Each structure stands twice: as structure tokens, then as C-alpha cells.
Structure 1
Amino acid sequence: METLQVIERVARDAYGRLLSYLAVNWRDLGAVEDALGDAFVAALESWPGTGVPDKPEAWLVTAARRRLIDRARRTRISEDALPTLLAMSEDAQRLAAAGAVFPDERLRMLLLCTHPAIDAAMRTPLMLQTVLGIDAARIASAFIVKPATMSQRLTRAKAKIRAERLTFELPDAEQVPERLDAVLEAVYAAYGSGWEEPAIADCPRSSLAEEAIALGRLLLRFAPREPEVYGLLALMLHCEARRGARHDGEGNYVPLSEQACARWDRRLMLEAEQYLNAAAQAGRIGRFQLMAAIQSVHAQRLTTGRTEWEAIAHLYEGLVRISPTLGAYVGRAAAIAEAYGAARGLAWLEVIPAADVVSYQPYWALAGHLYKQLHRLAEARSAYSRAIGLSTDAAVRRYLGRQAAELEL
């Protein structure tokens, strides 16, 4: 494997773990991010000549630690800085010598980002950047704000952690439920981001979905009695089970209703059902359990040969009541259209305020589909055009383009 590929793999697979390992010992997130970034640059400069070290992660931690020490000496941050960093160095050397992996401190980092002192609106973006390595521009896109605005907000959040020396310790048991929701939201957002990544040619973090699932399993060990953790895992696994069927042999996008069930991963579907059943035992329904239940109904097509759209529409109605998100509203309209006809589905779609859907691609893709069914061709063309312009997946753009072209036949 070429040096560049090794560095990319380590960045993809270990960035969140390395940053979290450094950050829980050194409270300045901005400084840790800079130091780790410098360490990767140093690897790009030196490894092609010296060769890839036996323990790349240990090398990167050592390089980052040296930069933090240099910074501490230059700025005289505090009397405790150097002893802390030296202890980190000794710990890193001990782990490297033993051939052990660095402790997975991502859970502590996730929960730190839910600290009550941090603005609730910034908790999920902060987790996405610090623990999962998603850049500010992509986070801004997900939250429909300007990249510069999101970058400024993230910088302020990190400065607050540093200035107030917020604790990195795990919260007490009674605090877990109130802080868990934001963590689940971040993991779900990460999975959603990773869902489309393999179709993006220049994406450096194609395993983000796998990392989100791993974090879900980590949360399950931490909060084994929280049904929404099981619900989120079930949701992600049901979606992951269909990843291989989303594109045909030529790379063309295949919508869920047209996918070949034989290409779905039965093992992942079975595991998802086990988690969903475990969640049901708690008797506390939540957003992720309902979303997983919707995917479970889709999965039943593998054995029944049909999709129970009325059941899906009812589940979406429950989802809208407890979690009225834009995605839930659009999903409800789509299910109603399948169950009761395009005109009825479109009526529910058009209830959504226009200002909310300006940049929401699923809305315009569904609108194009429903207008097409109702022979409202001019509106269908306009909707498909907007959906194509908002799509980041080239295969989806081609699919929508084919749908739009059929309007001219």
C-alpha cells in the first residue's frame, strides 16, 4: 500500500479516536486539532522517505504531543500543561510498546459536547467535527447555514470549553438521559452523511457510516437500558443492509421500491430486528424506534413480496407527532401517496412551508415524481430541475435526469 493511502486510511479510521485521546487529557480542542493536523502534514512529508512506521497511530500521537509541548512552552499556558503532556507521552509510549490500541475516548468526547454550558444548537455540530472529523462546510450544509457562520460558531464553542475548563468526565447516571439525545442525533447525522459518501469520488472518509455504527454499539454498552440507542442501531443497520442494492452493476441509482431484495444483507436485517425488539421491551417509544420500524416494514418485502404502505404511513404519522422534522413530513407525504394516491400525497407535501424546503432535495425529488404522476408536466420539470441541482450524488442526478427526460416522450 502506498504511503499516501496509508495516511488516508489512518485519517479515515483513527482521526476521531486520536483526537479524542489527546483532547480528554488536554482541554484545548482547537490546539489539539491544530497539533493533530500538523502531525498528519509531518507524516506526509517524512513517511515517503523514511517509510511508514510500524505503529502509525503512535507516531502521530507523539508528533502531535510534541507540537502541544512546543505551544505550551511558547505561550506558557499553565503550570500544569507540561506535566500533563509528558504523562500523555509516557502513556502513548507504553501503549505503543505493548502493541495496544489507544483507548477509545470518543464517548467521553461526545458527552462533553453535550455539557449544559454549551449552546444546545451547537452540540451536534461540535460532535460531528471533533469526534467524527466532518468539516465545517459539510456540517453547515446539513444545518442549512453558511460555512463561515458554522465555522465561527464552532470556534466559539471550542473556546468556551477551553475558557471554562469543562469536564471531560462521564456524567452521573441520572444525567445520561438528558444528554443522550444530542449524542444520538450526532451519530445519526454522521450516518446520514456517510450514507452518500461512497458515491462521492473525492470523499476521504468513505467509512463514516461504519464509524457511526461503531459509535452506536459503543453507546449501547454505555446505556444498555435506553431504548432509543437500540432504535438508532436498528435504523442504521436496516439502512446499511440495503447499501449494496442502491446501485446496479453499472453504478446507476436504484430507488428503494425498485431494489432487488436478494441483494439485501439478511444478517444485518436480522440484527436490526433484534435491536428493534429489544427497544420495544422498554415500553417507551421514540423517534429512532419509529424510524427503524418504518425501515422494518420496508424489509418485510423480502419475505412478503410487497410493501405495506398504509402501515408506513401510520408510522410516519406517529413520527411527525413526536418529532416534526422536515424529513418526517416529506416521508409522510411519500407514504400517503403510495398508499392513497398521488393527489393526496401531494396535498400533504404542499402543506410544508415553502421557505423550509428551498434547499431540501428530497422534497423536490418527491414533488417531481408526484407532479409527473398527475401529468402536471411543467411543475414536474421545475421540481426535477431543482432536485438535480441540489443532489450531491452523481448517480442520483442521472436517475432524476432520466425521470425528467421521460416527461418529453
Structure 2
Amino acid sequence: MGASARDTVEAVARGSYGKLVAYLASTTGDLAAAEDAMGDALVAALITWQRQGVPDRPESWLLTAARRNLIDAVRRTDVARRALPEMARAIEERSQLEASSALPDRRLHLMFACAHPAIDRSMHSPLMLQVVLGLDATRIAEAFLMPAATMSQRLVRVKAKIKQAGIPLVLPERHQLAVRLEAVLDAVYGAYGLVWDDGADGADRSDDRALRDEAIWLARLLVALLPEEPESNGLLALILGIEARRGARRDDNGRYVPLDEQDPARWSVDLILEAEDHLRTAKGLGRTGPFQLHAAIQSVHNQRAVTGRTHSAAVARLYDGLATLHPSIGVLVARAAAYRTASGATHALDLLDALPTDVVDGYQPYWAVRAHCLQSLGHADDARKAFDRAIALSRDPSVVAHLRRHRPPQ
């Protein structure tokens, strides 16, 4: 029973954490308190379910426990004690209204609330990744190339500000959604990007699968909520275009397979077609954005399934447009990689050399692309150093093995 209880707690945490926190936060208006209450409920579940067995409705059990934790927390706070009757009544009313129906899913509501203009713009996406998608500060910090301690401190300050300023944790009015959409799109893609390649160990772990599925589901929900927004369709087209190639990223022995070496027969035709539909919809809406350009790049790659070749010059030109709209370090390194294929290693190396060294020093893709460029130009010693740096920064053993196979011998 112990193992079963632990497995159930982990499964519910993976699948329902963001949903439950979003619901509690919308009820209480206190994001940090909702997270604390949910964390305590999960700990209680681990103890109680091992002793008494897993309840028939684990999610409802957790929600009830978290509600009690919230009320207890208010009761222990002298300043807030006078708010207890009102909070308890609100929670009880919600409970009665929804006892016979499925728990409403307010994850998307909370994501838009996290993009409130009073919150530091640079913290919109990190905040969503933690409170809605359940990622810890260390993993978020890695995605944003920031020390974990710094990210953790900033997240704590943002949550305190939300409470102090009384920022409503509900879905904004429709006219406010478009203004906040960019941050929500960035967070959804950021979540997918953390797990799109099966996690750091190359294994398709259940927690990564859950996060990936949730990101795809949120992207679909954004299109349903804002079908007239081209970037919503662009994000979904991008994610589906990448997801279509999941089955080809590893060979039968688990070895990493680069995109240009993948067998298109192993790509998902259904996902490619769906991605193309959303990309066409986005184009028809008349406003170009970065996610549409990202999706167009994936579309060009996926056309190899039909034509047998990749139009490398088209990929490079699309990256030029993307670098103008959204010159992130990831885009600029990917642009250099595209030009390595389209026009040669010299041009690509020039693009890499133009990037700020302090930003790229810890960025693995930069060193991988640089290593291949130097190797193509015959600079074996410099190539080995770049390969060694790329290997040191790689978290996936199959990628490490791939880089070692291509590293020039001594």
C-alpha cells in the first residue's frame, strides 16, 4: 500500500498541482498561501494514504485538505483573523456549488493574472512556470540562464507584491487578454521547451510527459480562448511541429539523432498536418509574430517528409526575420547554425563571434554549433576545446555521446 500511496500522490501532484493551486488562489487571492496549503496537503496525503489507503477521489481529498490548511493559516494570523469568517464562507460556498461537478480548471486564468502590468515584466513567465506548472526555482533559473538563488528571491518578492497590492487572481477582462498574451505564450513554450527532448537523462520520464502534455493542452486552450490571435495559433503550430518528430530523436538503441539525420518516416503525419493548419490560420490573420516564424521554420524542416530535402536558405531567412523580432540568445545561436548549413561555417562562425561572451559562456548550443564550425574549417585544436565545453554543459548522456563521437581525435 505504501508504494501505491506514494505513486498516487506523485501522479496527482504531476497532473493536478497547477489546477488545484489556481483554484485555491482564485478563491483566496493569496498565491503564496495557496502554494503552501497545497504543499502541506500533499505531505499529509503521503502520510494518511499510506496508513488508511488511497481515497476514491484523490484530487478532492487534496483540495479539502488544502482548504482546511488555508483556514488554519488565517486562524493563526492575528492580523487576518477577522477575515476568517468571510474566507471560510467563501470556501464553503464554492464547495457546495461545485461538490457535484468537476473541479473548474483555472490554470489559464491564473497565468493571465500572473502577467498583470503591476508585476515586473521579466518575472511574468517564471511566475507562471512555478505557480501553475509546478516547476521549482532551480529548473526555472536554468531556463532563464540565472542563478537559482536569484530566481528564488525574485519569485518570493513577486508573490509578496501580489498579496500586498491585492492583484486579482482571476481571468482579466477580454480587452486585457491581448496585452498579457505574450507572457503567457512564452511560459507555455518555456514549459514545453524544458521537456521537449525527453529530459536530461534521455528517458521519457512520467513527470516530463505530464509537463509536456500540460503545455500542449494549454496551447490548445489558448487557441480556443483567443482564436483570433495569430500568435496563439503560431505557438500551437510550433509545438505540434516539434512534437511530430518525437519518435525520431532517438534511434532504436537510444542514441541521439540530429534533425538533419532523422528518418522522416518516423515523424507523425497527423501532427504535422495539424501544425500546418494552425500555421495557415495564423498567416491568414494578418499579423506576423515570433511564434509564427518559429512555426514556419519547423514547417520547412517537416517538408522534408514530402520533398526529401530541407530548403536551408529558407530556414536561414526565417531566422533573419526572427532575429529582428525576437533577438534572444537561443534565436541568434540557432540562426548561426542555420547559416552553417545554408552558406558555410565561416559565415556561421562570424555570427557566433558577434555574440556577447558573458551571455554565451554557459549556453550549451553555442558551444556545440561553434565546435562543428571549427571542425568544418579544419581548426582541430579549437574544435576540441569547443566540443569539450559543449560536453561539459550537456545534461543528456545521449547528446554527450553524440558530441564525443564527432570530437576530433588528439
Query: Do the two structures share a fold, i.e. TM-score over 0.5?
Result: yes
Is 1:214 the counterpart of 2:217? The answer is: yes
CA RMSD of aligned residues (A): 1.7
State how far apart, in whole Å, the 2-side matches of 1:45 and 1:224 are.
44
State how far apart, in whole Å, the 2-side matches of 1:377 and 1:101 are.
61
| Contact 2:127-2:155 at 8 Å conserved across structures | yes
Is 1:3 the counterpart of 2:5? The answer is: yes
Q: Which region of structure 1 is more displaced relative to structure 2, 393-402 or 306-315?
A: 393-402
Name the structure 2 match of 1:289: 292
State how far apart, in whole Å, the 1-side matches of 2:267 and 2:85 are.
53
TM-score, normalisation: structure 2: 0.95
**% identity of equivalent residues:** 50
Name the structure 2 match of 1:390: 393
Is 1:144 the counterpart of 2:125? The answer is: no
Find the partner of 1:277 among 275, 280, 290: 280
SS at match of 1:408: coil
State how far apart, in whole Å, the 2-side matches of 1:247 and 1:93 are.
50
Query: Deviation of residue 306 (structure 1)?
Result: 0.5
Is 1:247 the counterpart of 2:243? The answer is: no
Is 1:41 the counterpart of 2:48? The answer is: no
Q: 1:363-390 CA distances to partner (integer Å, 9 max, x unpaired)? A: 1011111111111111111111111111
| 1:195-274 correspondence to structure 2 within 5 Å | 195-200=196-201, 204-274=207-277
Query: Deviation of residue 107 (structure 1)?
Result: 1.4
State how far apart, in whole Å, the 2-side matches of 1:18 and 1:327 are.
33
Q: Which region of structure 1 is more displaced relative to structure 2, 230-239 or 340-349?
A: 340-349
| Contact 1:21-1:103 at 8 Å conserved across structures | yes
With over 3 angstroms needed to count, the CA separation of the structure-2 counterparts of 1:221 and 1:82, relative to structure 1, is: farther
TM-score, normalisation: structure 1: 0.95
Unaligned runs of 5+ in 1: none
Q: 1:98-130 CA distances to partner (integer Å, 9 max, x unpaired)? A: 3x4311101110111111111111111101100
Name the structure 1 match of 2:67: 65
Name the structure 2 match of 1:26: 28
State how far apart, in whole Å, the 2-side matches of 1:113 and 1:12 are.
21
| Contact 1:199-1:395 at 8 Å conserved across structures | no
Name the structure 2 match of 1:380: 383
| Contact 1:238-1:268 at 8 Å conserved across structures | yes
Q: 1:132-189 CA distances to partner (integer Å, 9 max, x unpaired)? A: 1110011111112211111111001000111111112322333222111111111111
State how far apart, in whole Å, the 1-side matches of 2:92 and 2:10 are.
24
| 1:301-312 correspondence to structure 2 within 5 Å | 301-312=304-315
State how far apart, in whole Å, the 2-side matches of 1:2 and 1:241 are.
33
Unaligned runs of 5+ in 2: none
Q: 1:37-91 CA distances to partner (integer Å, 9 max, x unpaired)? A: 1111111111122111111100001111111111111114153344333432453
Find the partner of 2:405 among 402, 406, 409: 402
State how far apart, in whole Å, the 2-side matches of 1:365 and 1:50 are.
52
Find the partner of 1:333 among 333, 336, 339: 336
State how far apart, in whole Å, the 2-side matches of 1:55 and 1:32 are.
20
Is 1:186 the counterpart of 2:187? The answer is: yes
SS at match of 1:207: helix
| Contact 1:39-1:63 at 8 Å conserved across structures | yes
Q: Which region of structure 1 is more displaced relative to structure 2, 309-318 or 70-79?
A: 70-79
| Contact 2:114-2:169 at 8 Å conserved across structures | no
Q: Which region of structure 1 is more displaced relative to structure 2, 395-404 or 85-94?
A: 85-94
With over 3 angstroms needed to count, the CA separation of the structure-2 counterparts of 1:171 and 1:94, relative to structure 1, is: closer
- What amino acid is aligned across from residue 333 of structure 1 in structure 2? A
Name the structure 2 match of 1:132: 133
Query: Deviation of residue 94 (structure 1)?
Result: 5.5
- What amino acid is aligned across from residue 377 of structure 2 in structure 1? L
| Contact 1:62-1:89 at 8 Å conserved across structures | no
- What amino acid is aligned across from residue 117 of structure 1 in structure 2? A
SS at match of 1:396: helix
- What amino acid is aligned across from residue 170 of structure 1 in structure 2? L
Number of residue pairs matched by the alignment: 405
Name the structure 2 match of 1:118: 119
| Contact 2:219-2:236 at 8 Å conserved across structures | yes
- What amino acid is aligned across from residue 255 of structure 2 in structure 1? N
| Contact 2:323-2:331 at 8 Å conserved across structures | yes
| Contact 2:346-2:373 at 8 Å conserved across structures | yes
| Contact 1:367-1:380 at 8 Å conserved across structures | yes
State how far apart, in whole Å, the 2-side matches of 1:365 and 1:82 are.
59
Q: 1:279-329 CA distances to partner (integer Å, 9 max, x unpaired)? A: 001111000000000000000000000011000011001101111111111
- What amino acid is aligned across from residue 70 of structure 1 in structure 2? D
Name the structure 2 match of 1:171: 172
Is 1:84 the counterpart of 2:93? The answer is: no
SS at match of 1:75: coil
SS at match of 1:337: helix
Query: Deviation of residue 203 (structure 1)?
Result: 7.5
State how far apart, in whole Å, the 1-side matches of 2:208 and 2:334 are.
28
